[in-house]
Copies of this chain bind each other. A is one copy, B any other.
Amino acid sequence: MTTTNRRIVLASRPTGAAREDNFRLETAPVPDLAEGQVLVRHHYLSLDPYMRGRMSDAKSYAPPQPLNEVMLGATVGEIVASKDPAFAVGDKVLGAGGWQEYAVVDVAAAGPWLRKLDASKIPLTAFLGAVGMPGVTAWYGLNEICAPKSGDTVAVTAASGAVGGIVGQLAKAKGCRVVGVAGGKEKCDFVTRELGFDVCIDYKSAPDAKTFGALLREAAPKGVDAYFENVGGMILDQMLMRMNAHGRIALCGMIAGYDGAPAPLTYPALILTQRLKVQGFIVSEHMSAWPKALGELGALVAAGALKYRETIADGLLSAPRAFLGLLKGENFGKQLVKLV
């Protein structure tokens, strides 16, 4: 019996905001396995802001997502057929399976991108979030760039998100005052009540930069020592004006500019006058940090000491709309697509 695979490909590159018609659904039979290959049935697909960057062909850290090929993305799933001795049917695996229901994976070529998971103490979806790339992103940017010490004020945007929520909780554990920024009262309540941030600014309640600046002054009366940036734009401007001398800014995402609108930095001279360090990073370039980070994050999640929220869209066909929603902040926590 032939299995049918459904997949979503990049049909066209966005001009301006990404739209649903940039994607296309395709159906194709799953090919037979060759030696050294496995067939993975995906249970969950991860949707992440970085995917927006790859839809464009502008100069960036990664080559653009090819047109008419399956959208790239991390997946967790189960081995349903194997012609490789290292993997047995039933094994749970993390992979870079993309926006599709099945993937034929060449084990040797995949290397670290096909990894067996122990899901006995950690929920399978967490390997796409707190104990996966978003968690390591938070861990690396906070520890290696922000490097906060006890008593510092740490700020983070997209605070209810997969990365931001972890940043804040790790900073709290270090004895920092933690200021989150999120969109809407519901998210802000979650950030303070569930995640334990000291304060959360609802940027949607700030109609302009001046109002946001006033809220930030109130939230960070001693200024900001370390800032983990997921957003960019006006909020980055305001945060820069609030940075203390020798502050550190980890640039992880600038989603405000992803849809093509250029987002200039209004007062770059503050980097000089406040002697700041502003550093961009991509967690996949720091693979040596992953084992330590995943070890710590896994232990925290298994112990229930690290909280997170997930938004789970149902079925492959919901992926494009869920992804566009993610870019607008419509998700609440880690955005996933359930495929089984």
Contact = CB atoms under 8 A, between A and B. Distances in A.
Interface in A235-272: 236, 245, 251-254, 257, 262-269, 271-272
B277 A278 contact: yes
B280 A254 contact: no
A59 B254 CA distance: 27
Contacts of A265: 264-265, 268
B254 A268 contact: yes
7 nearest CB pairs, A to B: A272-B280, A265-B265, A265-B268, A251-B272, A278-B278, A271-B280, A264-B264
Given A236-B268, A257-B269, A282 B277 contact: no
Contacts of A232: 268-269
Contacts of A257: 269
Interface of A: 53, 59-61, 232, 236, 245, 251-254, 257, 262-269, 271-282, 285
Given A61-B245, A267-B264, A253 B275 contact: no
A271 B276 CA distance: 14
Describe A's contact surface by its main secondary structure. Answer: loop
A276 B266 contact: no
Work out how many copies of this chain go into the complex.
2
A267 B262 contact: yes
Contact of A53 (B53, B273, B276): B273
A284 to B, nearest CB: 11
A271 B251 contact: yes
B61 A273 contact: yes
18 contacts: A59-B273, A232-B268, A252-B272, A253-B272, A254-B268, A262-B266, A263-B268, A263-B269, A264-B266, A264-B267, A265-B268, A271-B280, A272-B280, A276-B279, A277-B278, A277-B279, A277-B280, A278-B278
A59 B61 CA distance: 35
A279 B236 CA distance: 16
A271 B278 contact: yes
A118 B267 CA distance: 43
Contact of A279 (B59, B266, B278, B282): B278
Contact of A61 (B254, B263, B275, B282): B275
B275 A254 contact: no
Contact of A274 (B61, B269, B272, B274): B61
Nearest to A264: B264
A194 B249 CA distance: 39
B267 A254 contact: no
B236 A273 contact: no
Contacts of A280: 271-277
Interface centre among A60, A232, A264, A272 (most CB of B within 10 A): A272
Nearest to A279: B277
Contact of A275 (B276, B277, B282): B282
Interface centre among A232, A252, A266, A269 (most CB of B within 10 A): A269
A236 B278 CA distance: 15
Given A257-B269, A262-B267, A273-B280, 9 more contacts: A61-B275, A232-B268, A232-B269, A251-B272, A254-B268, A254-B272, A262-B266, A275-B279, A275-B285
